[in-house]
Every structure is written in C-alpha cells, then in structure tokens.
Structure 1
Amino acid sequence: MGKIKTFALCMALIILITIPILILGDTFNFETDNETLDQNVIVLKDPIVSIEIKDVNMAKEMQDAIDALEVKGVDISDLRNLKTEYAAYSNEERLALLEEDFEIVNKYQEEKQKIVQSFSEILNEEGYKNLNIYEFTKDHKY
C-alpha cells in the first residue's frame, strides 16, 4: 500500500507542476505575433525587399525576351545593353535606399522606368508584342 500511495503522490506532484507550465506556455505564445515565430518570413512591407523582388522579376522577364529573340536570330545588342543599364540602376537604387537618399532613389526609379519603356518599344518595333515583357511592362507600377 505504501508504494501505491508514493506513486500517487508523485503523479499528483508532476501533474501539479506541469499543468501551470503548459498553461503559462500557451499564454506566452498567444501574446506573440505569429510572424515573429518564423524567422524565414519575408516582410514585404520592407521597401528594399519589395524593390528587389520587382527587379528580379523584371530581369527575368528581360532575359526571357532576349533569349526568345536570340533564338529567332534578331539583333539583341540594344536589349542586352538596356538590361545591363537596368541592373546597374537597380544596384544604385538599393544603395541609395540604404543611405535613405530618397531623391536619388526616385531619380533611379525614373531611369529604370525609361529603360523598361525603351525595352518594350524595341520589342514592339520588332513586332514581338506577345512576349511576357510587353504585358509585364504595360501594367508595371514603380
């Protein structure tokens, strides 16, 4: 009988200790934001991340258009130069954003927009309106 009584007291003690810990643990997790628990979440409200995603998407669309035209034998030297300029302005824009020089950031965004429009116009002149870059640039907002 002594062993059963000891076992019951030990179990009661363990339960009395674990229940408050479980309740407090849930309370602490309930008060925290779900995004803070996941370290791999990309916060899209960050302007640097947003600009970088747009730049990567634009560079991909430009490269896809260049590849498609290269296969067809079209002269793509102007398009490659525009893509290189776009990448350079993107890098400079990110640096200016880190330095919080928003006047220069706006200047670079305007230059990038002009480059995208020039790229789109070249595609339009060549008669390649069906490429993704044309559709992508038509509704692209900076």
Structure 2
Amino acid sequence: MYKKDKLLMILMIILPWLSILFIGKKTLKRFLPGSIFMSLYLIAEGRFAEKKKWWWFPYSIKPNVLAEFPLIFGPFLVGSLWILKYTFGKFNLYLLVNIIIDSFFTYFGLKWLKKIGYVSLIRLNKVKLSIVFLIKSFVLYGFQVVYERYFPLSKNSL
C-alpha cells in the first residue's frame, strides 16, 4: 500500500468522526448501539462477501483485517448515526434517505473508489448491491426499534 493510500484510509475513518462534535451527546447515546451493531453486521457481511467474491479489495490494511474497515468504521458508522438522528420514527423518510444515499454510493461513490483502486465489484452487480444496502437499512431500523423497546431508558432519559 502506498503512502497516499494509507492517508486516504486514515482520512476515510477520521473525517466523518469530526462531525460527531455536532451530533449531540443524547443522540450519540441513543443511536450508537444500533450503529455499532450494524458495523459488526458489516464485518460479518464482509467476511461472507469475501468468500462469495461479491467484491474485491486489491489490498488489505493488515492481515486478517477487512479492507473495508475504513468504510465501516468511518462513513458508514457515523452516517448511520446522522441518518437515525434525523429520520428515526419516520420510516418512509428513513427509507427514502437511505435509498438516495445508498444509490449515490452505488452509482457514483463506487465508481470513484474503483478508479482509485480501492474496490471492485466481481459477482455482484450494482442492482444486487442496492438490494444488499436496502436489506441493511431494514436491519438497522429494526434493531433500533427493538433496542428502544427493550431499553426504553435510552429514549426516555433523553
């Protein structure tokens, strides 16, 4: 991995976290468990996708560490927090926002990541990737609903 690639990976993780300063402590406390759950889900999905050759990352950060680690613990985790903050409790809006963001990533962001040599789709086309993203949207929302049902203090103490 070249120095510029390492810098890109570091920035991919760090830059989204700078926005957390503006999200609010209550929002972070309420939605961080769901965002962490989804990050763990994405790690499992990444291992599965690696075996099924859905996508390919030309290099890894370290041996036995998923190359998508910067995406998972950077924009995805932090993005989940922001999306939940503004859309949770309004499922149609949540779904619409996720479809827009996921489509932007699938049809534009992925193109850029491929151009810089970070990732390529192999056995998964963009439509199937969109379906995978849609499933993740349902999983995240469902987790948050269940979490708030069983841990109502997380919502009521806000």
Fold conserved (TM > 0.5)?
no
TM-score by length of 1: 0.33
* Structure number, greater radius of gyration: 1
